[in-house]
């Protein structure tokens, strides 16, 4: 018996090399930052002043709605685009691999390069506006950069690539014989998709959507480079960065970060609550 207990303790000791960096690099800074939200510079004791300031000052609490107003519609559009592309190339088709590669390609570039490409393409003298003017479709160029539209476009490009990179593999786990059986029994293409394909992949799709959504809530470079960080795209991370690096108010910066984290958890819980209302699983075991 003593040998079994010793063996279990020895197993826990083997985890120390991986647990120590985790504690030092993630857990401790998280706890330290959380405690700092209840403190103020040059003030002793704990206080809720930072949270009171956040939820009573529109310069702070408006970041919640601005972030969600930017990220949520973009994530929904990204999901529809990525799902549509990966659904129609899931079976063997000529050029399907090239289409999938081009869809995922923006992930290899990074957000900053994508942002600069959006500026070059959609600026007033860029290819997009120049082409429309030369075709006689518009007289004045659209203002599509350094505002909400610019950040929205960049987010859609990156988010579509992220979702598609996950859905490409998931589509392949669905046994095509299930759809063929439904079509053989007289079901239309839409009924087959609605009753057979979608219930089997629904759980995984919502999981990827949730991950993409909470990831984009922390958007910074796109909001600053292509958007308007002074107003329309003044997101959580923009405010936190300003408080930390310009105002040197690390307590308020951590407060903004904690509110952002809570917002991400709330959004995640909503998506997962919707996910639980349907079948949770896949058809990969049938294949």
pLDDT band at 159 (very low <50, low <70, confident <90, very high): very high
**Considering only CA atoms, which of 214, 217, 249 is closest in space to residue 235?**
217
pTM for the whole thing?
A: 0.86
What's the rounded mean pLDDT across residues 130-145?
A: 90
Asked if residue 129 has pLDDT above 70, the reply is yes
| Tens digit of each residue's pLDDT (9 = 90 or more) over 223-246 | 999 999 988 999 999 999 999 998
pLDDT band at 281 (very low <50, low <70, confident <90, very high): low
Give strand ranges (E) for 48-123: none
Contact 236, 63 (CB under 8 A): yes
Residue-level length of the chain: 287
Residue 279 has a pLDDT of 62
- Taking Cα atoms as reference points, which of 255, 112, 278, 92 lies closest to residue 201? 278
As a whole number, the mean pLDDT across the chain is 87
Q: Using CB atoms within 10 Å of the CB of residue 228, give its burial: 0 to 12 exposed, 13 to 18 middle, 19+ buried.
A: middle
| pLDDT over 60 (residue 247) | yes
Q: Give the largest Cα separation in the chain, rounded.
A: 86
285 band by pLDDT with thresholds 50, 70 and 90: very low
Of these ranges, 31-40, 88-97, 248-257, the one predicted with the greatest mean pLDDT is 248-257
Candidate from 3-7, 135-139, 169-173, 218-222 with smallest mean pLDDT:
3-7
Which of the four pLDDT bands, split at 50, 70 and 90, describes residue 287?
very low
pLDDT band per the 50, 70, 90 thresholds, residue 90: confident
Output the pLDDT for position 286.
47
For 43, the 3-state DSSP assignment is: strand
Position 89 confidence tier, pLDDT thresholds 50, 70, 90: confident
pLDDT at 282: 54
Please tell me the predicted confidence (pLDDT) of residue 280. 58
How far is residue 76's CA from residue 262's CA, in Å, rounded to a whole number?
21
- Give the tens place of pLDDT for each residue, 8-51: 666 677 777 778 888 888 888 888 888 889 988 777 778 899 99
Element (DSSP H or E) covering residue 195: none
């Amino acid at each position: 018996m003593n040998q079994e207990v010793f063996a279990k303790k020895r197993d826990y000791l083997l985890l120390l090399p991986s647990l120590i960096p985790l504690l030092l690099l993630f857990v401790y800074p998280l706890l330290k930052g959380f405690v700092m939200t209840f403190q103020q510079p040059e003030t002793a004791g704990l206080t809720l002043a930072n949270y009171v300031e956040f939820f009573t000052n529109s310069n702070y609490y408006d970041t919640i709605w601005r972030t969600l107003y930017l990220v949520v519609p973009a994530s929904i559009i990204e999901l529809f685009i990525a799902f549509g592309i990966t659904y129609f190339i899931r079976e063997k088709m000529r050029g399907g691999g090239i289409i999938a590669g081009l869809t995922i390609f923006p992930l290899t570039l990074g957000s900053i390069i994508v942002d600069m490409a959006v500026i070059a393409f959609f600026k007033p003298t860029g290819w997009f506006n120049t082409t429309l003017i030369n075709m006689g479709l518009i007289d004045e160029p659209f203002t599509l950069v350094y505002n909400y539209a610019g950040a929205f476009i960049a987010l859609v490009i990156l988010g579509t690539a992220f979702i598609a990179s996950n859905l490409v593999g998931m589509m392949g786990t669905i046994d095509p014989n299930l759809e063929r059986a439904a079509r053989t029994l007289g079901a239309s293409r839409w009924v087959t998709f609605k009753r057979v394909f979608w219930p089997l992949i629904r759980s995984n799709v919502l999981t990827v959507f949730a991950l993409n959504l909470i990831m984009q809530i922390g958007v910074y470079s796109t909001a600053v480079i292509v958007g308007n960080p002074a107003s329309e795209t003044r997101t959580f991370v923009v405010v936190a960065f300003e408080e930390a690096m310009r105002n040197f108010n690390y307590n308020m910066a951590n407060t903004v970060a904690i509110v952002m984290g809570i917002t991400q958890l709330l959004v995640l819980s909503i998506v997962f609550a919707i996910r639980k209302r349907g079948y949770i699983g896949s058809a990969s075991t049938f294949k």
